[in-house]
Structure 1
Amino acid sequence: MPQLPDMNLLPALDALLRAGSVAGAAAEMRISPSAMSRTLARLRRVVGDDLLVPSGRGLVLTPRAHELRPRVEAALASAVAALRPPPPLELATLSREFTIRTNDGVAVIFGPALTARVLRDAPGVRLRILPEGDENPADLRDFIDLDVGQMGDLPHDIRTEPLGAYGYAAVVRADGPYAHERLTPERFAALPHITVTRRGRVRSVVDERLAALGLTRDVLATAPTYTAACFFALRSDALALVPRLFALEAARAMPLAVLDIPLDLPASRFTQAWHIRVDADPAQRWLRGVLTQIVAGLDRDDPAPPPGPDSGGMTSGP
């Protein structure tokens, strides 16, 4: 890389080309005319042109100076802009695409409010919500803007912020035989269950709590997503065990009843994670703040049960 010239000469060159005189440039730069004369001499050596030459009682720009003037103005403006803090975020004109990775339960919990907020406040923003899978947290370095869910060990360059915690509930079809029951542990264990797991695992913390009471349950089916579990429940007399906040949202759209699970189950915590490259990005900070506000509002509407130890991945329900 070639050695850069003294960039402190750029403002002086700009002032000289605009003022067309040493005295005028000196006044603008708040230095003495003799100091500006020495600067002009340095500029002549660097540029390889006289820049300003005598003409009568004053000075005139050389052809090279006329050629340089718009380029110097543009270069100085770019340098100043590069060294300034980012301008205030204008949501109304923001054009951005955000990729968020989460599972269907969390997407249903915050997705409706998030899309409504984006449409209202930042209509140029587009959301791309991807499903969880066998993902790598390092994806945040490249193409994932936010990971939302339960986080394990993360690389040193990933930032996190707790969003909240949620408990679980059971959903049943609203016209089913026990849609309005207050479940006891015995009744809960006796009914067929639908659980959610990506890997087909049947046992969970629910079975541990039931075993402590001398009870066992029958898992009729496992479902790959919470949404699928709700559809299973709509066509059977089985309980689908899903996050409580998800259950409340699903019951607004489907003929489902939400029942309390009569066990002391731990709450599941969820977090948002992002790479340090976007830590200070105004648009990304806005997105994270919106998610925090949305989840805080949900917690006020339906507080989660007292937090306990994590019950496993968010895609493995009770």
Structure 2
Amino acid sequence: MAEQLDLNLLRVFDALMDTGSVSAAATRLHLSIPATSRALGRLRRAMNDQILVRAGRGLVPTPFAQRSAARVKALLDAAAELRVDPAGSDPRSWRRTFAIRVNDGLSPVLAPRLTHRIAVEAPEVRLRFVAQDTKEPDQLRDGSLDLDVGVADPPPPDLRTQTLFSDHFVAVVAAHSDLGRASRLTVDDLCAYPHISASRRGLARGPLDEALQRLGRSRRVVAVVPSFAVAALIALEGDVICLGPRVVAEHLVERQVPLRWHKVPLELPLAKVEMRWHRRLDDDPASQWLRHHMVEAVQPLVTTLNRT
């Protein structure tokens, strides 16, 4: 007879995915190692998959387990909600995880601010920030994600959106470089100095190239990296330029990272940053609470952006 899945087995699966270790999962779950090993055997029979396989001295998840991990977390969160009434309870009593997909360029700014607010009010709530490998809405639909934050295309009808702020892209350079010591950035500078392109999709061209092309000019992209964080680290090393959100550039400079940003002397489109959720969560008190804290977390950023 096929093994049946239950919530206890799913909790073991979740712990194994988070830790990648039977012994570490056992510690987290307050189980013995043999009991956890037996649970892994039951999971393998129930899911008809090895779940974890040997790789050198450790264990790695199978492709099936990787695909299933987010859905299992969503199921556990949904089950936890059945035990409490969020509308009438104190967030301090909640024990749950919210999954939030955040654009890589924004996560250094948004994640710490939101985490601080949530930790103060709900110490047992965990935030799981997910890389924006895709903008597809499927994970919002199946409950794997609670919120999606970033710059996105027009939403399908089953998603709700709220604009958090609009931002300009600025040119980020090393503070000690010639460009860092300059009073401003010119079009000639944009064309003369090498650029680092930050693109999740590996693109070397963007709105800046289109603006330069209208002037009969062009820039030289010497490297394409998957995130603005990596591009900013490369910019630290010398006379190169990378474009990034002004709100992130200011965040880095305020924390004494030796960078400087310049306004781009060309008209570039604004980046409208939104948060998105599935419509079934419109009236869910816990989701409303999370969205409220997201809005409050970005308010200081909005104030800063509105100063100029």
**TM-score, length-normalised on structure 2?**
0.67
Q: 1:246 aligns with which of 248, 264, 282?
A: 248
Amino acid at match of 1:179: G
Flag the 1:132–1:193 CA change in 2: closer, same or farther, 3 A: same
Contact 1:167 1:304 in 2 (8 A): no
Q: CA deviation at 1:288?
A: 0.6
Q: Which of residues 281, 285, 289 is equivalent to 1:282?
A: 285
State the partner residue of 2:119. 119
The alpha-carbon distance between structure 1 residues 260 and 153, as it changes in their structure 2 partners (threshold 3 A), is closer
What amino acid sits opposite 1:198 in the alignment?
A: R
Of 187-196 and 87-96, more deviation after overlay is shown by: 87-96
> 2:51 aligns to what?
none
Q: What code does the residue aligned with 1:276 have?
A: R
Aligned residues: 222
Structure 2: distance between partners of 1:99 and 1:86: 17
SS of the aligned residue for 2:157 comes to coil
SS at match of 1:302: helix
Q: CA deviation at 1:216?
A: 1.4
SS of 1:105 mapped into structure 2: coil
The residue type equivalent to 2:111 in the other structure is G
Q: TM-score, normalised by structure 1?
A: 0.65
Q: Does 1:301 align with 2:304?
A: yes
Q: Deviations for 1:9-63, whole angstroms, at most 9, x for unmatched residues?
A: xxxxxxxxxxxxxxxxxxxxxxxxxxxxxxxxxxxxxxxxxxxxxxxxxxxxxxx
2:273 corresponding residue in structure 1: 270
User: What CA deviation, in whole Å up to 9, does each residue of 1:89-144 have, x standing for no partner?
Assistant: 41322222100012211212311211111122221110001111235302112211
The reply to whether residue 226 of structure 1 matches residue 228 of structure 2 is yes
Distance change (3 Å), C-alpha of 1:304 and 1:155: farther
Q: Secondary structure at the match of 1:104?
A: coil
Partner of 2:77: none
> Separation in 1 of the partners of 2:307 and 2:158?
30
Paired with 1:89 and 1:107, the residues of 2 have a C-alpha distance of: 30
Alignment CA distance shift 1:209-1:139 (3 Å): same
Q: Which segments of 5 or more consecutive residues in structure 1 lack a partner in the other structure?
A: 1-81, 306-318
Q: Distance in 2 between matches of 1:253 and 1:227?
A: 15
Task: Show the counterpart of 2:176.
Answer: 175
SS of residue in 1 equivalent to 2:306? coil
1:94 equivalent in alignment to 2:94: yes
Letter in 2 for 1:264: E
Give 1 or 2 for the bigger CA radius of gyration: 1
TM superposition shift of 1:277: 2.5
Q: 2:117–2:297: 8 Å Cα contact kept in structure 1? A: no
Aligned match of 2:210: 208
Alignment partners' CA distance in 1, 2:163 and 2:112 = 20
Unaligned runs of 5+ in 2: 1-81
Structure 1 residue 165 corresponds to structure 2 residue 144? no
Give the deviation of 1:154 after TM superposition: 3.6
Partner of 2:132: 132
Q: 1:220 to 1:141 in 2, by over 3 A?
A: same
Identity within the alignment, %: 37
Q: Secondary structure at the match of 1:214?
A: coil
Do the aligned partners of 1:220 and 1:238 also contact (CA within 8 Å) in 2? Answer: no
Name whichever of 267-276 and 132-141 sits farther off: 132-141
Q: Which deviates more from structure 2 when the two are superposed, residues 133-142 or residues 164-173?
A: 133-142
